[in-house]
Amino acid sequence: MLYIPPILSQSLDLGSLIIGAAIIVWAVRLGSFLFMRVHKDKKDGRFDTIKTSFSQFFMTWTLQGMWVFICSSAALVAIANPTGVPINIVFIIGLALFILGFVVEIIADNQKSAFRSIPENKDVFINEGLWARSRHPNYFGEITLWTGITVMGISTFEGMNYLALFSPIFSYLLLNYVSGVRMLEYRGHKKWGHLDAYVTYKKSTPKFIPKIF
């Protein structure tokens, strides 16, 4: 007969399994997408300006490791709770946010990949689909899904555990001010900043939250 230690068996509740599965699905999807993109393009343009500098390259990878750990902290706190993760209305809202963010990120990534696959669009900025409603819909999805994971586990928080609420805030700060958006906006300005269409696109399109109308 299979023996499961008491502490482990207590943690294997449905809420914990859903949170753990959500993170695994996110990691597999994002990892495979980035691998296929680099395999196809033979490089990752985001690292063109930093791979020649050891200090910048080291800082980037360190920040990414820190990002994953901090973002996962809310999930780790929830899963480690000995009484399990309750599936209540707050959990359902968090799960809905995760699904929304996950779907938006997938759609945005796929739309950009399809746009870039057309030879005529090689040096053209994307402004169609979700990218016509947000300049960085994929990052909006990323922040939203981590917010969802945090909300799913918030019912288990007490005391110092509430520090894990910093998880989605850290995602926003990192993607907006350190990597991701900052780097892409800089590259976009250098490449298309002289185009009136791009200037208009930046002025009329939100950075993160997609416009509805």
Give residue for tokens 């200090």.
55
pTM of the model as a whole:
0.82
Residue 209 in domain: no
If you average pLDDT over residues 92-118, what whole number do you get?
Answer: 96
Q: How far apart are CA 21 and CA 23, in angstroms?
A: 5
% the chain with pLDDT above 90: 62
CA atoms within 13 A on the CB side of 179: 20
pLDDT in tens, 37-82: 766 765 555 555 555 565 665 566 676 777 788 888 999 999 999 8
Q: Which of 81, 70, 68 is nearest to 154 (CA)?
A: 81
**C-beta atoms surrounding 102 within 10 Å:** 20
Q: Which of 211, 213, 205, 45 is nearest to 135 (CA)?
A: 205
Q: How far apart are CA 187 and CA 114, in angstroms?
A: 20
Residue 94 in domain: yes
Give residue for tokens 């929304």.
100
Residue 74 in domain: yes
Residue 104 in domain: yes
Residue 213 in domain: no
Q: Which of 101, 91, 100 is nearest to 16 (CA)?
A: 91
Confidence of residue 15 (pLDDT cuts 50, 70, 90): very high
Residue 210 in domain: no
Residue 212 in domain: no
Residue 145 in domain: yes
Q: Which domain holds residue 168?
A: 6-204
Which range among 81-85, 101-105, 171-175 has the greatest average pLDDT?
A: 101-105
If you average pLDDT over residues 173-197, what whole number do you get?
Answer: 91
**CB-count burial class (<10 Å; 0-12, 13-18, 19+) for 129:** middle
Q: How many domains does the chain have?
A: 1
Tokens representing 108 are: 């945005």
At residue 8, the pLDDT reads 45
